[in-house]
Amino acid sequence: MTISEADLSRIAASVDEDRLWRMHMEMAKFGATAKGGVCREALTPEDNQARKLLAEWAAELNCHVSMDAIGNMYIRRPGSDPSAAPAATGSHLDSQPTGGKFDGAFGVLAGMEALYALDAAGITTTRPIEVINFTNEEGGRFQPGVMGSQVYARPEELDRMLNVIGQDGVKLADALAETRNVLGPLDDHPFKADVAGFVEAHIEQAPRLEETGNTIGVVTGIQGSRKYSVEVIGEEAHSGTMPMRRRKDASLAASQMVVGLHRLMEDPADVIRFNVGRMQAYPGAPSVVPGRVQFSIDFRCPDDDVREALGSQIAGLCKALAGPCQVNVNEIQRSNTVPFDKGVMDMIRRAANRADAPNMDLLSGAGHDARNMAALCPAGMVFVPCKDGISHNEAESATASDLAAGARVIAQTVAEMAG
Amino acid sequence: MTISEADLSRIAASVDEDRLWRMHMEMAKFGATAKGGVCREALTPEDNQARKLLAEWAAELNCHVSMDAIGNMYIRRPGSDPSAAPAATGSHLDSQPTGGKFDGAFGVLAGMEALYALDAAGITTTRPIEVINFTNEEGGRFQPGVMGSQVYARPEELDRMLNVIGQDGVKLADALAETRNVLGPLDDHPFKADVAGFVEAHIEQAPRLEETGNTIGVVTGIQGSRKYSVEVIGEEAHSGTMPMRRRKDASLAASQMVVGLHRLMEDPADVIRFNVGRMQAYPGAPSVVPGRVQFSIDFRCPDDDVREALGSQIAGLCKALAGPCQVNVNEIQRSNTVPFDKGVMDMIRRAANRADAPNMDLLSGAGHDARNMAALCPAGMVFVPCKDGISHNEAESATASDLAAGARVIAQTVAEMAG
């Protein structure tokens, strides 16, 4: 059954900017940092508190809460046809160690606001609607990130992920057991269940919407990426005595690599993204020539051919710049650019226009859970601006009015998907 | 009273290579690592065990053990004139986190072996002889290093040092209280007490003795050094989205600085020593552009003018290479080249020749406790070879025969100083 234009407009009008903002501020208390950001890494006590509050709101909405074997949570609003596959929206409540209030949380809370708006508009859809809170999107504590949606789409990876050991030495399965303990008994949700469509709201994490004066980004896809872990092996020596000519200095070699790799990735069009986010010398004593440096590489680019060509030069360049040191370059993740569904993009564009929100098409530079959902169903994403494009930073900021515009688009889009 | 050539030869002949080696192997058990090295940082349980064994050997030698307010231990063999200032030798029993069996320990154990040899030779000197175990020479756990001898020579720094917080969050005064607890009651020893002379044995930590086939290095002095702590301030951002042109990437800026500083310090004569031993990016997540990098600089050079000139360019070069980042360069330690006493060098040279040990003059690249003692009394040092010049490394190695040669020189030198 197709939902009427009038109903869609009524749903958009029922989105409550103040309620949505209050939900963000309530969530931001869990893991709040002194600098106004959030440290709420996956399956920590802070994440568990956020999950608990989400379940309380679901109860207030008379929605059913279930959880799957990797900890993804599903808030289900019934439709008139209980056997129909649901329309889904959502994102993640976990954050980077020094993250902001909106990355991830907005996608979950825009979904919850859509449910409140549907109630307020008195709409019952044909299909059920599910708001999903995916586990461990950020991947700071447990690697890799985008884990919950990845296991949802590829359940064969569950066992491997449950055995991942976090930065703090905790096994994921043990952290998840504690999460279950905090949340109390919940029904099980299967992986890879039939879904009619998926749409995810998110802050843009880049400055293009802000620079162009648009409120809504109709996301065309997610750029591909290659991620590496690099280990430079030198030789520990006394820094005051060992002649320079005889040193195997891992911090010098690693620094040469980082400078050389940035040169390789230079791009006047500023499309390529390249980052060394982790870099540490061992043993880390001022008077010891470091015998080892570890660093990470995160390399992204929309063009699959360019990414293949440049990515394949990384290991060779590191070796060429290693001097007397050895270097091991391990590729730990690799994904092609994923295009989103044209039909979902059309729904998002129409919803934005219906809500008078200026909009533009754009490609996502960041990975998101929607990438994994796109393998299972028609999927898309809605971006809203964030101040100066800053995220993965405690200073991350977005306005209540832009968030509400995004929620209006999400509410209409899931309603249209749910019919 | 001058000691006779015959007595000096008898003392040298009484040095027992096996006993000296056994003492090293006993000490190396405290903090022994899987790779054959030692992790025995200052005032840890491992260091306390080493100190306890030292006190037991002192008791076996009927020597008096005392300790000062920074934890330096003094093993005193009486002389015939109890009011005379002692001749002193010694070094330190603490190690780097990934250190070897000989760095420091050899200087203390060569002193103990000298006491055994004097007993075996039936010699009573005029002055007392003191073997000193200085606290925290390495400076890995508590900064700065060479701390015990520094406070001995400048007691006004005691309070500041007692309040130093270690890498593990422990206050030095609290660690020292535990050391006292383990050792049991000991007499107090004053700082800056009158000393007739000081000689310290040490592995060379450089390959010149080995390269030239010499067994004994007559150390002419200790090269000066400047040490800095550098903080690069960037801005955290999402690594997949933030345009490169808008990033403030602290790992790129820091890498450029490290490469640029090594270029500044390039020296065809290979006299200058330059090291970045500590280097770490924060928050250290692969998908976050690092907002901060901290690194250390250890810069040494025998020529005071060259060190002044190059050192004064470090902060400016870092700023020039910071790109869009900010950088704070703090000089945390600075010392000029310290020449050793000609008279002590002569004693050492004669002692080496008396023991048929091929010897050469050389400057020490590393800092040692003898540098601080040189401010108080005629001081000098004796080097023995270590394999491939490697130290501050678990692979550090020295031969029993070279160590014994060094102990023969120490035994004669303290005996001649003590008369």
Q: How many residues does chain A have?
A: 419
Residue B107 has which token pair? Answer: 């200087």
The pLDDT value recorded for residue B167 is 85
Q: Distance of alpha carbon B321 from its chain centroid, rounded? A: 33
Cβ–Cβ contacts within 10 Å for residue B184, how many?
8
Cα atoms found within 13 Å of the Cα of residue B2, Cβ hemisphere only: 4
Residue A244 reports pLDDT greater than 70 = yes
- The Cα of B184 is separated from the nearest Cα of chain A by a number of Å equal to 32
Give percent of chain B above pLDDT 70.
Answer: 100
Tell me the pLDDT band of B86, cut-offs 50, 70 and 90.
very high
Distances B197 to A70, A331, B5 between C-alpha atoms, Å: 70, 60, 19
Tell me the pLDDT band of A159, cut-offs 50, 70 and 90.
very high
Are B122 and B419 in contact by the 8 Å Cβ rule? The answer is no
CB environment B260-290: b (16+ within 10 A), e (fewer): bbbeebeeeeebbbbbbbbbbbbbbbbbbbb
On chain B, the residues whose CB falls within 8 A of the CB of A246 are: 207, 389
Tell me the pLDDT band of B125, cut-offs 50, 70 and 90.
very high
Which domains are assigned to chain A?
A: 5-223+337-418 (3.40.630.10), 225-335 (3.30.70.360)
Residue A1 reports pLDDT greater than 70 = no
On chain A, the residues whose CB falls within 8 A of the CB of B207 are: 242-243, 246
Q: What is the mean pLDDT of residues B273-278?
A: 97
The pLDDT value recorded for residue A2 is 85
What is the rounded distance in angstroms from the CA atom of residue B71 to the CA atom of residue B201? 20
Tell me the pLDDT band of B2, cut-offs 50, 70 and 90.
confident
Are B85 and B194 in contact by the 8 Å Cβ rule? The answer is yes
What is the rounded distance in angstroms from the CA atom of residue B192 to the CA atom of residue B155? 7
Are B240 and A300 in contact by the 8 Å Cβ rule? The answer is yes
The pLDDT value recorded for residue B305 is 96
DSSP alpha helix (H) spans, B202-358:
208-212, 250-264, 304-320, 342-354
On chain B, the residues whose CB falls within 8 A of the CB of A232 are: none
CB contact under 8 A, A393 and B236: yes
Q: Which residue has the tokens 């360049």?
A: A317
Q: Report pLDDT digits (tens) over B92-110.
A: 999 999 899 999 999 999 9
What is the rounded distance in angstroms from the CA atom of residue A92 to the CA atom of residue A97? 14
The pLDDT value recorded for residue A143 is 86
Q: Report pLDDT digits (tens) over B22-52.
A: 999 999 999 999 999 999 999 999 999 999 9
Q: Report pLDDT digits (tens) over B162-209.
A: 999 998 999 999 999 999 999 999 999 999 999 999 999 999 999 999
Q: What is the mean pLDDT of residues A113-118?
A: 98
What is the rounded distance in angstroms from the CA atom of residue B112 to the CA atom of residue B400? 15
Strand-pairing partners, residue B274, are B299
Q: Distance of alpha carbon A309 from its chain centroid, rounded? A: 26
Residue B392 reports pLDDT greater than 90 = no
What is the rounded distance in angstroms from the CA atom of residue A366 to the CA atom of residue A299? 11
Question: Which of B210, B246, B276, B330 to mutate to test binding with chain A, by most A CBs within 10 Å of its CB?
Answer: B276
Strand-pairing partners, residue B364, are B222
Tell me the pLDDT band of A151, cut-offs 50, 70 and 90.
very high
Residue A140 reports pLDDT greater than 90 = no
Q: What is the mean pLDDT of residues B230-240?
A: 95
Residue A27 has which token pair? Answer: 């969530």
Q: Report pLDDT digits (tens) over B203-223.
A: 999 999 999 999 999 999 999
Q: What is the mean pLDDT of residues A265-283?
A: 96
Strand-pairing partners, residue B292, are B233, B282
The pLDDT value recorded for residue A332 is 87
Residue B1 reports pLDDT greater than 80 = no
Least CB–CB distance from B206: residue in A96, A242, A280:
A242
CB contact under 8 A, A240 and B367: yes
SS3 content of chain A, % helix, strand, coil (to 5): 40, 25, 40
Q: What is the mean pLDDT of residues A343-355?
A: 97
Which residues have C-beta within 8 Å of that of residue A33, sequence separation ≥ 6?
A39, A98, A394
- DSSP category for residue A79: -
Q: What is the mean pLDDT of residues A341-354?
A: 98
Tell me the pLDDT band of B59, cut-offs 50, 70 and 90.
very high
Distances B296 to A155, A287, B145, B227, B284 between C-alpha atoms, Å: 46, 9, 14, 8, 17
Tell me the pLDDT band of A135, cut-offs 50, 70 and 90.
very high
Q: What is the mean pLDDT of residues A24-40?
A: 97
CB contact under 8 A, A273 and B241: yes
What mean pLDDT value characterizes chain A? 96
Question: DSSP for B5-74?
Answer: HHHHHHHHHH--HHHHHHHHHHHTTTTB-TTS-B---TTSHHHHHHHHHHHHHHHHTT-EEEE-TT--EE
